[in-house]
Amino acid sequence: MPKAHIVVVEDEPAIRRGVSDALRLSGYEVTEVPDGATGLREAAADGVDLVLLDIMLPKRDGLEVLCELRRRKPTRPVILLTARGSEDDRVRGLKLGADDYVVKPFSAKELLARVEAILRRTLRATPEIRMVKMGPGTIDLDRREIRWRDGSRAELSETEAALLKYLVGNRDRAISREELLSRVWGIGTAGLETRAVDMHVARLRAKLKAPCGHHPQPEAIITVRALGYMAGPALSVTSA
């Protein structure tokens, strides 16, 4: 299995080189970036598994990069690199959807432990799923489209497609509304209503119902009492 691809966005050359060298010695593929504008482009590129993002960056602020990255890639994991004493920025970053942070100066051992912990979770949790089979229909997540056997079609919004992908990618467990807000919407949950998740699930369920004339199918999204939601037996990953 190939090692993960990590983008390091850090403007201080010595820190950027040190972090990148430590990651490469551990077998990771690394892309180094010195500013926020280029960092956003590289962090949002296909094939990236994790982003290490400094907050204080030239050209574009790190938190601004994080906010835009969450809009483009809702589930891409991000670890913030922060200066000691910048607690407000760390809190803002976590609320914007950062997965973790490390405070400068940090040891390579600490950083690698946090990288490995997040990658163990996210690489398992978010496999590259493009097509989902569902009874008499096929869901193309890249095109955000449901194609039924009778020729009818339905479109999914970007959030609905990301929600469905996350549920199918974690089909062995129930996922809380708070986790869905963080990993699909890319936002923290402090003070937020989780009804946004329920409304999106309701709309998605309606779109996943087979058109009239097809036999009833098992439930696509299951509500697990007091826990959240999980993919139902109607959904299965397919390569075609």
pLDDT of residue 134: 85
Highest mean pLDDT among 127-131, 132-136, 178-182: 132-136
The residue with greater pLDDT, 3 or 208, is: 208
Backbone φ and ψ for 94, nearest 5 degrees, come out as: -65, -40
Tell me which CATH homologous superfamily contains domain 5-125: Response regulator (3.40.50.2300)
Backbone φ and ψ for 157, nearest 5 degrees, come out as: -75, 170
Secondary structure letter of residue 141 according to DSSP: T
- Measured between alpha carbons, how far apart are the two ends of the chain, in Å? 23
Domain ranges in the chain are: 5-125, 131-238
108 neighbors 73 (Cβ within 8 angstroms)? no
Q: How far apart are CA 28 and CA 8, in angstroms?
A: 12
Q: Which of 80, 67, 78, 65 is nearest to 6 (CA)?
A: 78
Average pLDDT value for the chain: 84
Q: Tens digits of per-residue pLDDT, 221-230?
A: 999 988 899 9
Q: Tens digits of per-residue pLDDT, 21-37?
A: 999 999 999 999 999 99
Whether pLDDT at 75 is above 70: yes
Residues 6+ apart with CB under 8 A from 7: 30, 31, 33, 39, 42, 43, 45, 48, 50, 51, 52
Q: Which CATH number fits domain 131-238: 3.30.70.270, 1.10.10.10, 3.40.640.10, 2.40.160.40?
A: 1.10.10.10
Lowest mean pLDDT among 3-12, 19-28, 85-94: 85-94
pLDDT of residue 42: 94
Whether pLDDT at 124 is above 80: no
Where would I find the beta strands (DSSP E) of 115-159?
A: 131-134, 137-140, 145-148, 153-155
Q: What percent of the chain has pLDDT over 90?
A: 30
Q: Is 145 helix (H, G, I), strand (E, B) or coil?
A: strand
Task: Quickly state the pLDDT bin for 96 (edges 50, 70, 90).
Answer: confident
pLDDT of residue 179: 79
Q: How far apart are CA 237 and CA 132, in angstroms?
A: 5
Whether pLDDT at 239 is above 50: yes
Q: How far apart are CA 37 and CA 124, in angstroms?
A: 30
Backbone φ and ψ for 174, nearest 5 degrees, come out as: -80, 140
Find the mean pLDDT for residues 126-153.
84
Whether pLDDT at 50 is above 50: yes
Q: Tens digits of per-residue pLDDT, 182-213?
A: 777 765 544 455 678 888 999 999 888 877 65
Whether pLDDT at 147 is above 60: yes
